[in-house]
């Protein structure tokens, strides 16, 4: 059984996902502009502020965050299986 992610896990997942899409410096700038780590801890606030900042472009970042969350969840539920075995 997978453990429930902590706020720290969520913040790190969001930061890593944004870094993969935007790069390091833009990620830091965006996080600062949407309210820092505190905003990242509240998904509704983060999503609203990200959409305000990027408009429709926020969809790319949000989708990537969700994809990474899914992959992370799958890996924690099936740590020894391969992707092929899960399909």
- Mean predicted confidence (pLDDT) in 7-33: 95
Burial class of 22 by CB neighbour count within 10 A (0 to 12, 13 to 18, 19+)? middle
Where are the chain's structural domains?
7-76
Q: What pLDDT, on the 0 to 100 scale, is given for residue 85?
A: 52
| pLDDT computed for residue 70 by the predictor | 86
Give CA–CA dist 55/71, Å, rounded: 26
In the chain, pLDDT over 70 holds for what percent of residues? 79
The predicted pLDDT at position 39 comes to 95
| Entry pTM | 0.77
């Amino acid at each position: 059984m997978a453990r429930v992610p902590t706020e720290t896990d969520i913040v790190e997942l969001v930061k890593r996902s944004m870094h993969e899409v935007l790069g390091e410096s833009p990620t830091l700038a965006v996080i600062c502009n949407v309210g820092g780590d505190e905003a990242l801890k509240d998904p509704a606030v983060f999503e609203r502020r990200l959409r305000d900042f990027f408009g429709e472009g926020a969809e790319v970042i949000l989708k990537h965050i969700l994809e990474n969350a899914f992959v992370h969840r799958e890996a924690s539920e099936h740590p020894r299986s391969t992707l092929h075995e899960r399909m």
